[in-house]
Amino acid sequence: MSLQVFINGRLVPKEQAVVSVFDHGLLYGDGVFEGMRSYSGRVFRLQAHLDRPWESARAIWLTIPMTQQEMAQAVYQTLQVNNISDGYIRLVVTRGAGTLGLDPNKCSNPQVIIIADHIELYPREFYEKGLRIVTASTIRNHPAALNPRIKSLNYLNNILAKIEGLQAGCVEALMLNHKGEVAECTGDNIFLVRRGELYTPPNDAGILEGVTRAAVIELAQEMNLTVHEVPLTRHDVYVADECFLTGTAAEVVPVVEVDGRTIGSGSPGPITQELQHRFQRLVRQRPDG
């Protein structure tokens, strides 16, 4: 059976899930999106994942044409009709069809799209042996231009940095902000371990406020680890004992080399491994958080 996609209140085969070529989501990247994971048929931290697109939409003056409760029901309906228990959900809200100008007032009918499918962002060996990453020359968007806390359909900033990583033979790349501080990777948040304590850039460093990031901070605190949300530089990364990334699709993945520098022992560290194990237990035991 063809994958069924939810679009504007209807479930249709993916071949029929279409939007207008005049939709400003296509023409200008005008819209928002969200990624979620389901484990054993339940969406992990669904409420947090719904709050984020609603906040992003409010920030860009976009009204989502349904309630959060209706959206939650649609997400589960899409999972169930596709018989997906452990999967990935992509929620998209576009500005809707309009004219060839920028004016959002000339758009109508924002499109709500929900896609449920399977995803494997990184091969299993990366979770066991760790990633190599490089620092991209493309910096994170300046918050006064396009705040990185808005998860908009315009992801070209991240894509350009991703291209730099791929051209260097890496599947991920580290991005700095306009101050030269560490922000995040192209699709994941970053954490460092130094002398048994956890460090991660703060929200105002130009990061997306990751749901998995928040869950990992809670897990670290349960382990009685001190967590510092402070500005970091590449020097902090290079001298870290451990490094790992977090994200909805990535979950918790170790990093063992950055810009040719070996991080710690060159293998996933004990704190990273423990957080990996605890995160897997969390999503299976308390999938709704």
- Enumerate the active-site residues: 151
**DSSP state letter for 23:** B
Number of CB atoms found within 10 A of residue 82's CB: 21
CA distances to 34, 49, 182, 185, 230 from 94, in Å:
12, 17, 30, 25, 34
Number of CB atoms found within 10 A of residue 233's CB: 12
Instruction: Answer yes or no: are the C-beta atoms of 183 and 201 closer than 8 Å.
Output: yes
Number of CB atoms found within 10 A of residue 101's CB: 12
CA 203 to chain centre: 14
